[in-house]
């Protein structure tokens, strides 16, 4: 099953493979607050990559960072 990722800036959401297969545009400048958020995401993803996690591909629409979408459990809650 393919992982789903979503963009942290725009509304794009899709499969990890789709995001990897498209050459993203260069990221556009953001407001200072959003730039700080993007830097925090980059630091977190780099830290996770140092422990063996894969770095999510950039957004195919805007070129900014993506994060993995967590699926909810299909088990019924007890």
Which H or E element spans position 14?
strand 13-15
pLDDT of residue 78: 61
Asked if residue 57 belongs to a domain, the reply is yes
pLDDT of residue 53: 87
Would the pLDDT of 76 be above 80? no
Give 1-33 pLDDT, tens digit per residue: 578 999 999 999 999 999 999 998 998 889 999
- Please give the Cα distance from 17 to 51 (Å, whole number): 22
Query: Do residues 29 and 38 make contact, with C-beta atoms less than 8 angstroms apart?
Result: no
Asked if residue 73 belongs to a domain, the reply is no
Asked if residue 29 belongs to a domain, the reply is yes
Average pLDDT of the chain?
89
pTM of the model: 0.79
Asked if residue 48 belongs to a domain, the reply is yes
Query: Do residues 69 and 13 make contact, with C-beta atoms less than 8 angstroms apart?
Result: yes
Asked if residue 76 belongs to a domain, the reply is no
């Amino acid at each position: 099953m393919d992982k789903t990722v979503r963009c942290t800036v725009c509304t794009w959401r899709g499969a990890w493979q789709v995001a990897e297969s498209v050459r993203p545009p260069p990221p556009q400048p953001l407001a200072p607050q959003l730039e700080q958020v993007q830097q925090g995401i980059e630091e977190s993803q780099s830290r996770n990559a140092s422990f063996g996690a894969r770095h999510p591909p950039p957004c195919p629409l805007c070129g900014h960072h993506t994060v993995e979408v967590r699926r909810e459990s299909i088990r019924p809650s007890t």
